Structure 1
Amino acid sequence: MHTFEIREDFYIDNEKIKLISGALHYFRVIPEYWVDRLEKLKALGCNTVETYIPWNIHEPKEGIFDFKGQKDFIKFTKLAQEMGLYVILRPTPYICAEWEFGGLPAWLLKYPDIKVRSNCCIFLNAVDKYFEELFKYIRPLQITQGGPVIMMQVENEYGSFGNNKTYLKNIKNLMIKHGCEVPLFTSDGGWKEVLEAGTIIEEGVFPTANFGSRSKEQIGALADFMKKNNIVGPLMCMEFWIGWFNNWGKEFKRRDAQDAANELKDLLDVGHVNIYMYHGGTNFGFYNGCSYHDGIDPQTTTYDYDALLNEFGEITEKYNKFKEVISNYVKIPEIKLTTNINKVSYGNIKLSNKVSLFSTLDKLAKPIYDENTLNMEALGQGYGYILYRANVGKKNKLEKFKLIGMDDRAQIFINENYHATLYKDNFIGTNQSLILDKEDDNILDILVENLGRINYGASLVSPSQRKGIKGGVMLDMHFHTGWDHYCLELNNINEVDFNGYYKKNTPAFYEYEFEVNQKGDTFLSTEGFGKGCAFINGFNLGRFWEIGPTNYLYIPAPLLKIGKNKIIIFEIEGKYKDSITLDDKPYYTK
């Protein structure tokens, strides 16, 4: 058994240690590459790895827990220990991290009165039950039990959200109740107001700061805060932001490598650091988060972050600059990389099948009827798409048509013919009427995409976090009643029936099959497609969108099979290609 203590500095077994850590999220990297990413971290000169633990992947449905495969943080932590790395765990209910709903599970929103990140009993009871299960796995990983975990975080940047000290104490007490034995810390922005709001120093919880520039100034603000509050301890930047995340439709963000390295030196001169991100990875599936800037601003599938390793694990110029700085503070070990990773171009792959969503709809979801439109969470759905269908009567022209409480993106179809795209109550263009052209029954379909729940700021608690159509559909001056709901999480993609019909300009599935003799990392070019998501052998690679800044999806080699492989692309705007390419490099638009 060992000890980790916070005195005037950090100590392990009574020996002073300088923590040089890198952030690496196990859930953004396939398990087969964990060793490679950890070896490269060790070779950088780091002695510690830090990771969040997102609640939503480990309890995807209330009371149903999953810690296997890419969710096996236990295996990830033990691999770090085998390499001689310490581990900082952040098992907070809320993580931000540009992750869907900041890591909070979508099912919380089925409770009408829920108030997240508060003393709301519904929320705290849910955290209690989650921690009861989670800490069964965390307890033996702590340094006090012979494991590598030296510290754990209480909440996350709470000072940028609230100042409810009772809530923070409740989270701290739940962690201790369920077996936390190592020192606890908080992390907040590096200025006075948020440090005062987000810390619980009176509870013995150690304060750290997060920032990415003006390091001397911001670490100085933390030092002033600690001195003012008579806190004896080291200075640590828990998130040293060396790059930034990306949003759809914006230029890909890059930061000068030497500038970031200079800031790192300023930090290491006076304290300790956790580099955010050392390696960003990929937001596979529907787990990308969403910003809010005068409206929803969803983040990209890539979480490259302009990190020291790029999205697919390659060493960058910034990595080498950081290694040079770190070598002035610790001896850099010689590390032999043991994972053979190569990149392969598989060339052109022809389309083998295509089918309209409307044709295979009943194979993917059974309709749930209700008089009113229900949101995703009320239907037990967390992510993906939801299709609302209603019979809206005989031939007619409706001058007014509006969706109430739709906060994402909706596509409108009349008798399976495309009509319009809607963002948060306003049509693109000026046409706000519906033409019902069939003499008999006319069928209205509304496909709503959950673009990602907001992961930061005041909008985190907004009712708009519930997805789908929350208020209803107005035809003329009244709400229309009588709706079938099709929940399309697309976790059953292999059930798509390609024997059905295909119709132009409608959401559709496209199948491409190819043979693999040699497995290697590759990149699916999405150029020529509009918007949607793609799957390789049933694995959800994430979303694509023609507005960029990326027009590719990363396919790690372990997701391929020797022999026949199948890619299915779900595209919702009717844009596709008769052949796709799998290239040995990614394609950027901006």
Structure 2
Amino acid sequence: MKVFEVRDDFYLNGKPFKVISGSIHYFRVVPEYWRDRLEKLKGMGCNTVETYVPWNMHEPQEGKYCFEDRFDLRSFIQIAHSLELYVILRPSPYICAEWEFGGLPYWLLKDQDMKIRFDHPAFMEKVTRYFEHLFPQVVDLQIDQDGPIIMMQVENEYGGYANDKAYLYKMAELMKENGVTVPLVSSDGPWGDMLENGSIQDVALATVNCGSKIPEHFQRLRKFHGKKQPLMVMEFWIGWFDAWGDEEHHTTDVESAAKELAAILEEGHVNIYMFHGGTNFAFTNGANYYEKLAPDVTSYDYDALLTEWGETTPKYQAFKEVIKNHVDIKEVALTTNIQKKAYGKLEMKEKVSLFSVLNDISVPVQNNYPLSMEELDQAYGYIYYQSEIGKARTIEDFRLINCMDRAHVFLNEQPLFTKYDHEIKEKESFEMSEPENELGILVENMGRVNYSVQMNHQHKGIKDGVIINGAFQSDWTHYSLPLDNLEKLDFTKEYREGAPSFYRFTFEADDLGDTFLDFTGWGKGVAFINGFNLGRYWEVGPQKRLYIPAPLLKQGENEIILFETDGKAIDSITLTDEPQL
């Protein structure tokens, strides 16, 4: 049996042990590539891998659990173990990670009195039940049971959210009650009150998250510890994430990052965030909200040491040069055959308007007033709201009240206007000329905020109502559109130019390789490959192509479907072997 201890330093079986770790989120990588990414991590000289655990993926609906396929946490840890890598596990309910709602499940918001990340009875009840299902997946993989897990994290950057110490202590105790025996840690920014707010030093080792000024931050951490303890950067930020509408893909200077890594390893321990970022498949991207909504792009490349598609970078080589000053690096053979393929230009095969297939892919729900996504038991995607609004007349006061995040407004299935973020609450006016008129509103959840105070206000769809000439409109039909059943689409039905629509493409593949979907010429929407939701695209950039890993393809005919919401479509797409963020 091995023993990992936190004393004046980290000790493994009684000997000092320098933790050199890199972050890989198993849920952002197809399982067929887990081994490849972990082999490259070991090949750079790392001895440990770190990962978050997203509650919203493991309990997507309340009481229904998933630990399979891309969310098979246990298998990921076992692969790491087979490569003689140790594991830092961060299983707290909240992960941030630029992930939808910071990893919290949407259904928590169904309770109007819920207080997330506090010692609140309803929240703690949900966490307790989740932990009872999560920890049996991993507790026997702890190092004192001959597994690879050496540390677990109690909460994540809690000091930037609140200072409820009772909550932190209960979280630590709950982990122990569920069989956690390895050392516990917390991680917070080294600024302001964050360390004081988020640390419980008698139970968990305090670590810091930062990307520069390492000597200064280690001095602060050393003073905060009050005694000699390991100095660790739990998240050494070596890049950054992109939001839709950013001017360009974020990158960091290789030489500066390598110097900061050297400074960390001179005094302490590191977890490199991110070693490999991966992809925000489907609707899993998070968002930030300060002055405006900033939803993250589908790629989580992060300017990491491996690209989104898993290739090493100059930064990888520079970090390897630093690491070899501290450990002997052995050559690691790569066992996964990965290639890139260009399948070329694909001509559109079929198309159909959303309005034609609403009843095929959604069951209408009637209600006197508009229901939010959460009230409809819907996690992600879109909702189409429909209501009869009467005779021909002038609408002088049209408003959406507490609606998030992006809304397309239609009159008799013809587009009126599109409203986003701050624009949504602005008053609009329009004319109605038909004897009877139908209002339609397609609302998109662009990703729930994953950090800070706005997390408490993340109901999607229309929460409060729709104003027509100064009064709330009643009698609504709702069509939930999580887009998880596109096999029900009937492409023989009517297509209407400029309307939200589905577009189908096919291609033959004998030799399977990673490829990249170039969406130039398209507006905004989401793409699917063989029924798998690849994620969002949007012409505003900076991302211009979507990564398609080869394991999502099959020999023979493959199908791509685009759901285009903005009516900007051309007759083709291109699958290229050239990535472009």
TM-score w.r.t. length of structure 2: 0.98
Aligned counterpart, 2:19: 19
Partner of 2:155: 155
In structure 1, C-alpha distance between the alignment counterparts of 2:438 and 2:107, rounded to whole Å: 30
Query: Who is 2:566 aligned against?
Result: 573
1:184 maps to 184
Displacement after TM superposition at 1:173 (Å): 1.0
Contact 2:367–2:477 under 8 Å retained in 1:
yes
Q: Secondary structure at the match of 1:554?
A: strand
Partner of 1:233 in structure 2?
229
Flag the 1:359–1:130 CA change in 2: closer, same or farther, 3 A: same
Q: 1:419 aligns with which of 396, 416, 420?
A: 416
1:563 aligns with 2:556: yes
Written as runs of structure 1 = structure 2, the 5 A alignment for 1:312-327 is 312-327=309-324
- 2:262 corresponding residue in structure 1: 265
Aligned partners of 2:370 and 2:385 also within 8 Å: yes
How many residues are treated as equivalent by the alignment? 580
Matched residue SS, 1:107? helix
Give, in whole Å, the separation in 1 of the partners of 2:466 and 2:412.
Answer: 17
Partner of 2:442: 447
Alpha carbons 2:403, 2:424 under 8 Å: kept: no
**Shift of residue 494 of structure 1?**
1.6
- State the match for 2:80 in structure 1: 80
Matched residues in 1 for 2:398 and 2:192: separation? 49
Distance 2:316 2:424 in 1: 46
Confirm whether residue 553 of structure 1 aligns to residue 552 of structure 2: no
In 2, Cα distance between the equivalents of 1:420 and 1:378? 26
Using the TM superposition, give the Cα deviation of residue 16 of structure 1 relative to its aligned residue in structure 2, in angstroms. Answer: 1.6
1:204-283 equivalent positions in 2, closer than 5 A: 204-227=203-226, 230=227, 232-250=228-246, 251-283=248-280
Distance 1:431 1:17 in 2: 62
Contact 2:530 2:559 in 1 (8 A): yes
SS at match of 1:473: strand
Backbone CA RMSD of aligned residues: 1.1
- 2:349 counterpart SS class: strand
**Amino acid of the structure 2 residue aligned with 1:426:** E
Equivalent position amino acid for 1:374 in 2: L
2-structure distance, mates of 1:570, 1:548: 17
> 1:404: which partner in 2?
401
Deviations 1:266-286 (A, max 9, x none): 000000000000000000010
Supply the distance in 2 between the matched residues of 1:36 and 1:226 (Cα, whole angstroms). Answer: 38
Aligned equivalent of 1:65: 65
1:425: how far off? 6.1
What is the aligned partner in structure 1 of residue 575 from structure 2? 582
Q: Decide whether aligned partners of structure 1 residues 255 and 85 sit closer, same or farther in structure 2, where only a CA change above 3 A counts.
A: same
Alignment of 1:458 onto 2:445:
no
- The CA deviation string for residues 287-338 of structure 1, in whole angstroms up to 9 with x for no partner, is 0000112121101100000000011001000000000000000001110111
1:102 aligns with 2:102: yes
Aligned residue in 2 for 1:307: 304
Which residue does 1:521 correspond to in 2?
514
What is the deviation of 1:493? Answer: 1.7
Secondary structure class of the residue paired with 1:378: coil
- Larger deviation, residues 169-178 vs 22-31: 169-178
1:14, 1:117 → 2: CA distance?
36
- Measured at CA, do residues 61 and 427 of structure 1 come closer, stay the same or move farther in structure 2, by a change above 3 Å? closer
What are the ranges of 5 or more consecutive residues in structure 1 without an aligned counterpart? none
Specify the code of the residue in structure 2 equivalent to 1:471: D
Partners of 1:390 and 1:168 in 2: CA distance: 47
Contact 1:519/1:560 (8 A) holds in 2: yes
Deviation at 1:20, TM superposition (A): 0.2
Please tell me whether the aligned partners of residues 404 and 425 of structure 1 are also in contact (alpha carbons under 8 angstroms). Answer: no
2:406–2:424 Cα contact (<8 Å) kept? no
Distance in 2 of aligned mates of 1:102 and 1:367:
30
Aligned to 2:503: 510
Unaligned runs of 5+ in 2: none
Query: How many Å apart are 1:238 and its aligned residue?
Result: 0.4
Q: 1:205 to 1:487 in 2, by over 3 A?
A: same
- What is the deviation of 1:368? 0.6
Displacement, 1:546?
0.3
1:93 aligned to 2:86? Answer: no
Within the alignment, does 1:171 sit opposite 2:171 as a pair?
yes
Q: Secondary structure at the match of 1:41?
A: helix
Helix, strand or coil: the match of 1:568? strand
Structure 1 counterpart of 2:502, one-letter code:
F
**TM-score of the superposition, structure 1-length normalised?**
0.97
Preserved CA contact (<8 Å) 1:533 1:543: yes
Cα offset for 1:552?
A: 0.9
The DSSP-based 3-state class of the residue aligned with 1:422 is strand
Cα separation, 1, equivalents of 2:195 and 2:422? 38
CA distance in 1, matches of 2:17, 2:50: 16
Cα shift readout 1:249-275 (whole Å, capped 9, x = no counterpart): 112101011110000000000000000
Residues 425 and 236 (structure 1 numbering): CA distance in 2 closer, same or farther, change over 3 Å?
closer
Alpha-carbon deviation of 1:9? 1.1
In 2, distance between residues paired with 1:423 and 1:566?
A: 31
CA deviation vs aligned residue, 1:426-474 (integer Å, no higher than 9, x gap)? 369x9811322211x211110000000000011112x3x0001111000
Using the TM superposition, give the Cα deviation of residue 424 of structure 1 relative to its aligned residue in structure 2, in angstroms: 3.9
CA contact (8 A) 1:402 1:425 kept: no
Name the SS for the 1:377 alignment partner: coil
Q: What fraction of aligned residue pairs are identical, expressed as a percent?
A: 52
Could you list the per-position Cα deviations for residues 349-398 of structure 1 after superposition, in whole angstroms to 9, with x for gaps in the alignment?
11000000000110110111100001010110010001100111122221
1:549, CA displacement in angstroms? 0.2
